Amino acid sequence: MAKELAIYTSALTKQFDHHIAVHGVDLQVESGEVYGLIGPNGAGKTTLIRMLAAAEVPTAGDIYLNGEPLRHDRSSATLKRSLGYLPDDFPLYEDLSVWDYLDYFARLYQVHEPRRRQHLWEVLELVSLGNKRHSQIATLSRGMKQRLSLARTIIHQPILLLLDEPVSGLDPVARGEFREIIKTLQEAGMTILISSHVLSDLAELCTSIGIMELGYLVESAPLPELYCRLGHQHISMSVLHSPEHLEAALCQHPLVEALQVLPDQSVQVQFSGNAQDRAALLRSLVEAGIPLAEFHCTQEDLETIFLKLGHQQAS
């Protein structure tokens, strides 16, 4: 049976004056997925997320979250409780302590005692801010503030998380910590939609990727499918003797798109198959008696795919 859709949008459009920020987006995110939204600045990611969070009224189109229609000002309290939204500017009450801030939002989201206290501790532990609970927010570092904002987003245990650029401006260590938190949340069963410019992070975290360009969702697919379909694999091989036999064998293989013999006698192959195809290629070469000394595969990363695809589709 197909998984239930956590997010479903149909022809979702947002127009600001003459600028169409989001153009007829049909988005489908399955429950339990970590969906990464990528695109250049001004592609419409933030506007799309804001509409999903009911912070922006769509000009046209429909949004369904967990099967329930989202109406900007008339959504049910249950639907609002199932949503966690972290905006890119992560607003905070600087005058409050960490504990009071989270306690306030837990109350806003109707988390009652004795569950509330327990949740607060759990969330503070998760974002590693337990020892800072009495500190005033104004005194925290940027990384801590961002983690606190994430804690605020999950304090009511939403089933759908919308994270808009959650790691922007963080150093690599803080980003790593953030990644770990998101992995934990995914393991807890939350559906997460995350937008970011740090594509390596998304490649590590996401199960599916959506690419936005000029307001259009130009691509949306599970990450492995995206790699398979759009990302080239490069296999570098070297043999003990001259590479003529290898070259001849590779030329006949249907999944080899291009090959190049490098000055050091190694061969660079652009390959379009999947892991099984790769294994079959290796087996066939060995069976053909080619004395392989090296067989190493590299995959085009998300950034390359994005750079190729985003501009191509939009233009």
CB 148 within 8 A of CB 98: yes
Q: Sign of dihedral through CA atoms 309, 16, 52, 100?
A: positive
83 vs 235, beta carbon nearer another protein: 83
Q: Among 93, 302, 278, 298, which Cα is nearest to 200's? A: 302
Q: Where do we find the tokens 């249907």?
A: 254
Candidates 34-42, 78-86, 183-191, 213-221 — which segment interacts with another protein by CB under 8 A? 78-86
CB 136 within 8 A of CB 95: yes
Count Cβ atoms within 10 A of the Cβ of residue 133 and give its class: 0-12 exposed, 13-18 middle, 19 or more buried: middle
Candidates 39-47, 98-106, 173-181, 277-285 — which segment interacts with another protein by CB under 8 A? 98-106
49 vs 267, beta carbon nearer another protein: 49
Provide, rounded to whole angstroms, the least separation between the CB of residue 189 and another protein.
21
Residue 193: count of CB within 10 angstroms of its CB: 27
Under the binding rule (CB under 8 A), the answer on residue 93 touching another protein is yes
Provide, rounded to whole angstroms, the least separation between the CB of residue 138 and another protein.
12
CB 99 within 8 A of CB 134: yes
Of the candidates 100, 204, 247, 303, which one interacts with another protein according to CB under 8 A? 100
Of the candidates 8, 109, 178, 227, which one interacts with another protein according to CB under 8 A? 109
Q: Among 132, 158, 120, which Cα is nearest to 31's? A: 158
Under the binding rule (CB under 8 A), the answer on residue 266 touching another protein is no
Q: How many whole angstroms separate alpha carbon 226 and alpha carbon 88?
A: 26
Under the binding rule (CB under 8 A), the answer on residue 16 touching another protein is yes
Spell out, one character per residue from 146 to 185, where the chain touches another protein: x when CB under 8 A holds, - when not: ------x---------------------------------
> Which spans of this chain sit near another protein (rule: CB under 8 A)?
15-18, 20, 53-55, 57, 59-60, 72-73, 77-78, 80-81, 83, 85, 87, 89, 91-93, 95-96, 100, 103-105, 107-110, 112-113, 152
